[in-house]
Amino acid sequence: MFLFYFTAVFQLLYSGGYVFGLAIGLGLVGAGLGIANEYKWGYVLGLVMSALVLLRTLIITPIPILTLMFDVALVALLVHPQSRDYQRIWFK
DSSP conformation letters of 59-75: HSSSPPHHHHHHHHHHH
pLDDT > 90 fraction of the chain, expressed in percent and rounded: 47
**What is residue 30's predicted lDDT score, i.e. its pLDDT?**
95
Between CA 17 and CA 43, with CA 25 as vertex, the angle to 5 degrees is 160
Q: What is the mean pLDDT of the chain?
A: 89
Distance CA 66, CA 14 (A): 15
What is Dmax (Cα atoms) for the chain?
40
Q: 0.75 exceeded by the pTM?
A: yes
- In this predicted model, what pLDDT tens digit does every residue of 42-60 receive, in sequence order? 999 999 999 999 998 888 8
**What is residue 61's predicted lDDT score, i.e. its pLDDT?**
67
Range of the domain at 83: 2-90
- In this predicted model, what pLDDT tens digit does every residue of 61-70 receive, in sequence order? 687 888 889 8
Domain count, the chain: 1
